[in-house]
Structure 1
Amino acid sequence: MRQASNHVQFLSVLLSVLLLFPLTGCWSSHEIEEQSLGVGVAYDKAKESIIEKELDEQGESYVKKNLITSTYQLITPQVASSTTKQGGPQQKSYMNISETGDSTFQMVRELSLRSDTPLTSYHMKVMVIGEALARSYSLEQLVDQNLRDNDFRPSCLVLISKGRASDTLESKTAGEIPAFHLYGMIDNTYRTTRILPPMSLIKLESKIQSRSSFLLQNVLSANGEIKFAGAAVIKGKTGKMIGFLNEEELEGVTWITGKGKGGLVKSFDKKTGQLIVYEIESMKSHIKPHVKGNNISFDVHIESEGRLSENGVVSGNPLKNQFLQQAQKTSEKEVKHLVRNVVEKMQEEYKVDVAGFGNRLRITHPRVWMRVKDNWDQTFSEVPINYDVKLTIKDYGTSGYNK
């Protein structure tokens, strides 16, 4: 009995010692008060591409080309404490700091020469790339260092800016952090067909490696305010931006892909010219490739269910099937217009496939795809595309009962 008791006591002491280790905390951690939390980064083409000679630690000169300006949005202990102490509304909740050079990695390290709190990228929310830079450099070049950096979040949202990207990281709204604001706006996809599904850094990498053309959400900045406005067209072969789709053209792409979660279709009654607004409750699309010898064509079948949310036709009674059918046809015509316009833009102006036609061909006809994939954008620009649209109004509110 005494031996068993001693054995139990020994195990109890051993267990107590082992339990002390988790209580010691993370001895390799860094105090948050000693960090600058990077939450956003903007890349722009440098205003002056000059060559500078800098002195290194040994006093020897080295060449630095001013090609890219990186702007980092930081939340620092100093910013947080000053905002708290002075009430917040008059103070910015962030700090932007810029560096210019030819190496994104070197520019990050240059910040260490200007601040006593090193930049960390664990909480990076958005990366915005300026139009001029995206036209001059491939995205693969621009994001290479970020993909290699273990500290940089692969979930970081990537956007294109029509204008200076650094302007999108500024705000006139007191207490607002622009990087968080941009990141949160992407959640509004259920309310509009003019926002693309989010493109994270890791998803961008897969697009780049596939060498297929694609879209990136475009953001505009004016007077301290920002807005999602259309999308940038990225050519797969070069990885560079070649142009923009406007907001209506982006709507057309959303209908083709069937990836919309909500939104509306605004059209006008043929007879009266009055407004009809169809609210999207569901959307689906099926792209069907056809191959006959060397000839390729596509059929796009689009279906949607929704509600009549706004009706300016005074004489129209939503309870009557004839009126509902006319409203559906009017809305269908508008969707066909959106689709036709963006197909023409893709095939005739940009000559790129950014709506997933090639991916459907790859899935259904893999051998054909292997034959045409190396020059798919050019092939796509010449293939016939037919489409049909079927919208169904399932709900029209209660306004019809009052007419």
Structure 2
Amino acid sequence: MKKAAPGPKRPARNCPWQTKALAALAALVVLLSLISGGCWDLRELQDRHFVLAMAVDLADETGQSGHEKGINPLETYTQTAGERKYRLSLQILKFTSSSGGPQRGEESKTFIISDTGASMFDMIRDMLGQSSKAIYFEHMQTVIFSEAVVRQAGIRPVFDLLLRDPEMRWRIKVFITPGQARSLLEFTPPTDEAGGIFLANIMENHSRTFHIAGAATDLGNISQALDAGNVALIPRIDLAGKVVKVGGLALLKAGKFIGYLDEYMTRGVKYVRGTSKSGPITIDCPEHPGNVWSFEMSDHRTKLEPHMVNGQIYFTLNITMRGTLAESLRLDDQDKKSGNQMQLPKVEQTVAKQIVKNIQDSQKLLQDMNADAFNLKTKLKAHNPKAWAAVKDRWDEVFPTIPIYVSAEVIIRGIGEHE
């Protein structure tokens, strides 16, 4: 008996879950192709204006010459609210062609636009009328406030936008200048760098000198200090002619400007906070007037501890420094063997005394200003919460009366190559 011929095969059916899986896979492939295609937002670099530095002055602030800086009538707009308090200036990077363009040093790498008003955000949007491209802040390096701005109403009103805007990075370098902030944006660096980048790079040297207060002074650190009710430290920057220098710092308490510390007092603050990795300490020879020694610190250990005895709070500060004898300036032939074992203990003892005196001088000034730049209250709160609870509501009364007992040990490990 013959078998019947097989009929046509019926097409296989896909299960519902297989169909959904294929659809999800296709959607994933499309999504990955969109987000991994480079400039997914369709804006090329040359179609953006990148801000490198920002300066904030008072609208009627005078320049270094003492004359009122005239405001261009176009650097303003019809405001709907507030007074015309501030002048905001932005330093913007120029994009130039790599071939056929201007040669090195012939033209500035940046240009500046300004506006006046009450709202920082409003001024930035009004500046779009002076710009051929959208303005971006992701690569901003530097913010400079004039002393007059922070003296008038504190730093919080002009700081608010920097903390809210997601384009502002917390590693932005912040400065205060006693002069006009915009003048620093007009400064042309001798290194052919863009101005905002040059100023930010100066702060990278803070760990090698005691004169620059660079640690914990970025935008994010200042924000944390203000939120915690601590004294905020902001590096001071000055412009004189064609010379720019960063040195010393400004103190802000509760967001208000209370004064400057010079390089010597800044050194004392950095000793206590332990924020330098290297730096010179120069002393006079106690036995031979006119002879100078210079010690270079290479290792710094600081131990600051709070104590309470019979209701009296005091701190002990123990500092250990190790380093080398970097220089010995002698006016005569005495102490030629400055590196021998008989001379090194004298240098160590004299440097240690200088460190203690520097800290005591800084402490006195800060207590006179009622500015806890040593951050003693944070130490007290962490190590003795009960003592902190007893004084936190009257810290401004207690801080100026707190003694600090300082001891320093200096160890010279090397004396240089020649000796």
Question: Considering the TM-score relative to the shorter chain, is it more than 0.5?
Answer: yes
Structure 1 equivalent of residue 350 of structure 2: 330
Q: Does 1:312 align with 2:329?
A: yes
Q: Confirm or deny: 8 A CA contact 1:75 1:93 kept in the other structure.
A: yes
Give 1:44 shift.
1.3
Please list the CA deviations of residues 241-271 of structure 1 after superposition, one character each: whole Å capped at 9, or x if unmatched: 1100000110111111122111010001011
Match of 1:99 in 2: 115
Q: Percent identity?
A: 24
> Given residue 204 of structure 1, which amino acid in structure 2 is its aligned partner?
I
Structure 1 residue 162, shift from structure 2 partner: 2.2
Is structure 2 residue 222 aligned with structure 1 residue 204? yes
User: Which residue in 1 is equivalent to 2:7?
Assistant: none
Task: State the distance in 2 between where 1:198 and 1:294 align.
Answer: 32
2: distance between equivalents of 1:256 and 1:181? Answer: 29
Cα 1:125–1:258 shift into 2, 3 Å = same
The aligned length equals 384
Shift in Å at residue 377 of structure 1? 3.3
Whether contact under 8 Å (1:167, 1:224) holds in the other structure is: no
Tell me the TM-score normalised to structure 2 length.
0.84
Native 8 Å contact 1:38 1:74 kept in 2:
yes
1:270-317 deviations in whole A, cap 9, x for unaligned? 111201000101111111211123311111111100101111244322
Shift of 1:163: 1.5
Conserved? CA contact 1:42–1:72, under 8 Å: yes
User: Following the alignment from structure 2 to structure 1, what is the Cα–Cα distance between the partners of residues 232 and 389?
Assistant: 19
State the TM-score, normalizing by the size of structure 1: 0.87
Identify the residue that residue 246 of structure 2 maps to in structure 1: 228
Residues in 2 aligned to 1:347 and 1:214: alpha-carbon distance in whole angstroms: 15
Instruction: Report the Cα distance in structure 1 between the residues aligned to 2:27 and 2:382, rounded to whole angstroms.
Output: 59
Which residue of the other structure, out of 34, 44, 47, is the alignment partner of 2:60? 47
After the TM superposition, which of the residue ranges 388-397 and 317-326 deviates more from structure 2?
Answer: 317-326
> Residue 7 of structure 1 aligns with which residue?
none
Q: 1:181 to 1:375 in 2, by over 3 A?
A: farther
CA gap of 1:315–1:354, structure 2 versus 1, over 3 A, is same
Q: Deviations over 1:51-93 (max 9, x none)?
A: x9x876xxxx73552211111110144xx34996121311000
Q: Which residue is 1:33 aligned to?
A: 46
In the other structure, the counterpart of 2:153 is 137
Q: Give, in whole Å, the separation in 2 of the partners of 1:66 and 1:82.
A: 41
Match of 1:188 among 187, 205, 208: 205
Q: Does 1:215 align with 2:233?
A: yes
Equivalent position of 1:395 in the other structure: 414
Q: Unpaired segments of 5 or more residues in structure 2?
A: 1-10, 13-18, 62-67
Q: Describe the superposition over 1:354-378 as per-residue Cα deviations: whole angstroms up to 9, x where unpaired.
A: 0121111111111211222233233
1:92-136 CA deviation, whole Å, 9 max, x = no partner? 000111111111010101111222212111111111111111112
1:298 aligns with 2:311: no
C-alpha RMSD of matched pairs (Å): 2.9
Whichever residue aligns with residue 180 of structure 2, its letter is R
**Residue 88 (structure 1) aligns with:** 104
- Give the match's secondary structure for 1:204: helix
Structure 1 portions without partners, runs of 5+: 5-9
CA distance in 1, matches of 2:204, 2:165: 27
Say which SS state the counterpart of residue 303 (structure 1) adopts.
Answer: strand
Which deviates more, 193-202 or 40-49? 40-49
Distance 2:152 2:249 in 1: 18
Counterparts of 1:43 and 1:345, CA distance in 2: 29
Q: Which moved more, 1:24-33 or 1:363-372?
A: 24-33
C-alpha distance in 2, partners of 1:114/1:336? Answer: 55
